[in-house]
Structure 1
Amino acid sequence: MTIIHNDAQVVRELTATYAEIRRQPRMWRETAAALRARRDEMSAFLAPRLADPSLRIVLAGAGTSAFAGDVIAPALRSALGRRVDAVATTDIVASPAAVFAEDLPTLLISFARSGNSPESTAATELANQFLTEVSHVVITCDLEGELAHAHADAPTSLVVGMPEETNDSGFAMTSSFTSMVLACLLLFEGERNGIVDALSGEAERLFALDEQIGALLDRRIERVVYLGAGSLTGLAQESALKLLELTAGTVVGLFDSPLGFRHGPKAVVDDATLIVVYRSDDAYTAQYDDDIVTELQGIAPGRVVRIGGAGYGSPTDYPLPAIDGLPDAYRGLVAVVFAQLLALHASVKAGCTPDNPFPGGTVNRVVQGVTVYPHPRSEDARA
């Protein structure tokens, strides 16, 4: 798509990316309804596997889909009281012997917008090769993709399709990311009363602050740092990637944890840096979030944004009152809307086309140019 308008609001409304960001509340409701309709089938698949106390759950994907696992893993470890690891498919494909060093019963959960990235099917094939007992859950936005087709009829696989509209046509993953995260949480934890409506309502409230969010870029901003702990570290990484993607790298996105940021990375803060802190709902963890906000406000006044919490009277605080008390993995679905809108504003300000920030094809919507090499270890060589 070629942008011919200079007005930022007109540009946003002309882009598929903006529409995909805005329709997330509806996608969440449709995702919840889809899982509700298959609850018995999904429970029958999961129950015997979860009954094994030695089961290892691995959450896998590439890029944004990998960060979905990073957001979910801490929440599932807490909810299920068992081992849950987030491992990128790119790490599985590059070093399968290291990822699957322990031959444990494994449930591999693969996240994929299209399922056509080379690593998607390769990761599941390597799991089958290295592990004696492995089952698969494929959470995908494209039931016609290669990954979904590879597992559609397998007795040890469960394919969970997202609403068709979550298969974002824009370059950056937005509704696909949040819908897949929500689907996985609901798959294992069930649907709490009113949770999806609460998330949707709070996201709509953030949409109403769109111009206020864009105004954070009125001064010169060359980099944005996102900070978060636990599930919110993965969310910070996804937020940084959105900025890099939609601005074609002209605005740098960085991420860290609030405590980790002090150990060297804080050196990046200067007059052209904006810092966004995702505040945990856990009262203990939030102490560290608030400490780093206070410290950074002394270094970068007016350029420190806090997402979540009750609000502290600062114009750069964005409380999320309707979802206070929810685990951070759920609250992150709303918090990342802030990052998506900020990245969209930054994209327009940088003169990029949000739906295709890389018209020369140097970076693609579905990764290209990856050669997947056969691994020398065969099934017969399994220890």
Structure 2
Amino acid sequence: MTTVLDTLPDLELAGAGATSREIAQQPDLWRDVAEIVAGRRADVDAFLTPLLAQPRLRVVLTGAGTSAFAGQVLAPALSRQLGRVVEAVPTTDLVSAPRESFPVDVPTLLVSFARSGDSPESVAATRLAEQCLTEVHHLVVTCNADGRLARDHTGAPRSLVLQMPAASNDRGFAMTSSFTCMVLGTALALGGELPGDGVDRLVAAGRAVVAEAGPVVDALAATRPRSVVYLGSGSLKGLAEESALKLLELTTGAITVTADSPLAFRHGPKAVLDDATVVVVYLSTDRYTRAYDLDLVRELRAQLGAGQVYVVDGDAQADPALGDGPRIAVPGLAGLGDVVLAVAAAPVPQLMGLASSLAIGRTPDNPFPDGEVNRVVQGVTVHPLAD
């Protein structure tokens, strides 16, 4: 079946060429990311090992928008792997309330995610951390070697810049390649290499998702849903938040979007459901967590009908208890965890955003031609913080 990604000349004319290429290229870039981190392993370990040996070290993952959601994907898994609390705190919170964001003066590793590294909050967050804390080290994960954040921290005594592949510095408005590359690069740097043929399996899964999800999301977008709900638990809640942002951005707010965890969704947000709502549930690979995800899928399919509730699933076999509702498989990732699943599954909501944007006549590469919202945020005044 022909999908939106198979019509590149038409996509160029429709103002979607960059976004479509940047979605499709991701599996190849993930291999590049793994090679970059492996090639810098000695530098990464020399920087991180003495920090992670400090029992009082606080690890904060920060960024704005999609970059903040990268931290939300990573924080639960890194907390488990590192045996310490790892917090995802957006730069927008750090900059607007630095004393509350850094309430205790403890040694801190600030991991900053930035596609361009030129947004005012990205630069200000690192400077405010220096002002508020006696000891702070910076791991800057960025897609733009020429950005202000990379330039400020390259060669700095308590900083390490981890540069993602140049092609991950998306030209399109929406962050796609940049999101998955920064998540993967940080997972490899802080959590260690994937076991065995893990990188090959991730790349193969991503290629399968890009190929197989296209017809599903094209058909979904053609139904013109009034609202879409994305749900995920643990690390996959961060993916749900990012998924909602992709659809919101690329359709310029034309579709009402909600993101939550399956358990929390029953506590009020479920009120959004109606016969024009589509729900997408990311099923965790953790057996315990997955049980809660499956409970809600069964409940929602009974309430809405199976056709309105989609699952994105890293399990090799579909759960027979879920019936015949729509399922997008993310194959071959057994044992690699939900962060890897989030990376491989991210093209699904990206394609959903692309197809929905085109279906309602938007231009995905630049959905806000009048500049109401910009690729690099503008109009932010960073106010001085009194000592």
TM bracket (short chain): over 0.9
Amino acid at match of 1:187: A
The answer for the alignment partner of 2:159 in structure 1 is: 157
The answer for the alignment partner of 1:145 in structure 2 is: 147
Question: Could you tell me how far apart the structure 1 residues matched to 2:256 and 2:183 are?
Answer: 25
In the alignment, is residue 252 of structure 1 matched against residue 256 of structure 2?
yes
Q: Deviations over 1:350-372 (max 9, x none)?
A: 10001000001000000000000
Secondary structure of 1:172's aligned partner? coil
Q: Deviations over 1:271-312 (max 9, x none)?
A: 111100000001111111001100110122111001113314
In the alignment, is residue 306 of structure 1 matched against residue 311 of structure 2?
yes
Question: Could you tell me how far apart the structure 2 residues matched to 1:208 and 1:327 are?
Answer: 22
Question: Could you tell me how far apart the structure 2 residues matched to 1:200 and 1:211 are?
Answer: 20
Secondary structure of 1:359's aligned partner? coil
In the alignment, is residue 363 of structure 1 matched against residue 358 of structure 2?
no
In the alignment, is residue 342 of structure 1 matched against residue 367 of structure 2?
no
Determine what percentage of the aligned residue pairs are the same residue: 53
Aligned length in residues: 372
| Residues 266-281 of structure 1: pairs in structure 2 closer than 5 A | 266-281=270-285
- CA drift of 1:321 comes to 3.0
Q: Deviations over 1:160-191 (max 9, x none)?
A: 10010000000000000000000000001221
Q: Deviations over 1:48-77 (max 9, x none)?
A: 111111100000000000000000000100
The answer for the alignment partner of 1:217 in structure 2 is: 221
- CA drift of 1:213 comes to 2.2
The answer for the alignment partner of 2:385 in structure 1 is: 375
Q: What is the root-mean-square deviation of aligned Cα atoms in Å?
A: 1.5
Secondary structure of 2:341's aligned partner? helix
- CA drift of 1:45 comes to 0.8
Question: Could you tell me how far apart the structure 1 residues matched to 2:19 and 2:325 are?
Answer: 27
Question: Could you tell me how far apart the structure 2 residues matched to 1:220 and 1:375 are?
Answer: 47
Question: Could you tell me how far apart the structure 1 residues matched to 2:274 and 2:349 are?
Answer: 20
The answer for the alignment partner of 2:49 in structure 1 is: 47
Amino acid at match of 2:373: V
In the alignment, is residue 262 of structure 1 matched against residue 269 of structure 2?
no
Secondary structure of 1:208's aligned partner? helix
Q: Kindly tell me: are residues 353 and 88 of structure 1, through their superposed partners in 2, closer, same or farther at Cα, counting changes over 3 Å?
A: same
Q: Deviations over 1:83-122 (max 9, x none)?
A: 2110000000000000111111000000000000000110
Q: Is the 8 A contact 1:8 1:345 kept in 2?
A: no
| Residues 189-204 of structure 1: pairs in structure 2 closer than 5 A | 189-192=191-194, 193-204=196-207
The answer for the alignment partner of 1:324 in structure 2 is: 334
Amino acid at match of 2:149: L
Q: Is the 8 A contact 1:55 1:83 kept in 2?
A: no
Q: Is the 8 A contact 1:307 1:318 kept in 2?
A: yes
Q: Deviations over 1:193-229 (max 9, x none)?
A: 2112111111111122212221122323011100001
Structure 1 runs of 4+ off > 3 angstroms?
Answer: 7-14
Q: Deviations over 1:255-280 (max 9, x none)?
A: 00000000011110111111000000
> Which one of the candidate residues 58, 61, 64 is aligned to 1:62?
64
- CA drift of 1:314 comes to 2.2
| Residues 146-185 of structure 1: pairs in structure 2 closer than 5 A | 146-185=148-187
**Could you list the runs of 5+ residues in structure 2 that have no partner in the other structure?**
none
Secondary structure of 2:262's aligned partner? coil
Secondary structure of 2:122's aligned partner? helix
> Which one of the candidate residues 17, 32, 35 is aligned to 1:33?
35
Q: Deviations over 1:97-153 (max 9, x none)?
A: 001111110000000000000001100000000101110000000010000111112
> Which one of the candidate residues 318, 333, 340 is aligned to 2:343?
333
The answer for the alignment partner of 1:381 in structure 2 is: none
Question: Could you tell me how far apart the structure 2 residues matched to 1:226 and 1:9 are?
Answer: 28
Q: Kindly tell me: are residues 304 and 232 of structure 1, through their superposed partners in 2, closer, same or farther at Cα, counting changes over 3 Å?
A: same
Amino acid at match of 1:307: V
Deviates more, 1:302-311 or 1:170-179: 302-311
The answer for the alignment partner of 1:15 in structure 2 is: 17
Question: Could you tell me how far apart the structure 2 residues matched to 1:332 and 1:229 are?
Answer: 11
The answer for the alignment partner of 1:282 in structure 2 is: 286
Q: Kindly tell me: are residues 151 and 99 of structure 1, through their superposed partners in 2, closer, same or farther at Cα, counting changes over 3 Å?
A: same
Amino acid at match of 2:132: F
Q: Is the 8 A contact 2:262 2:296 kept in 1?
A: yes
Q: Is the 8 A contact 1:311 1:318 kept in 2?
A: no
Report the TM-score, using the length of structure 2 for normalisation.
0.94
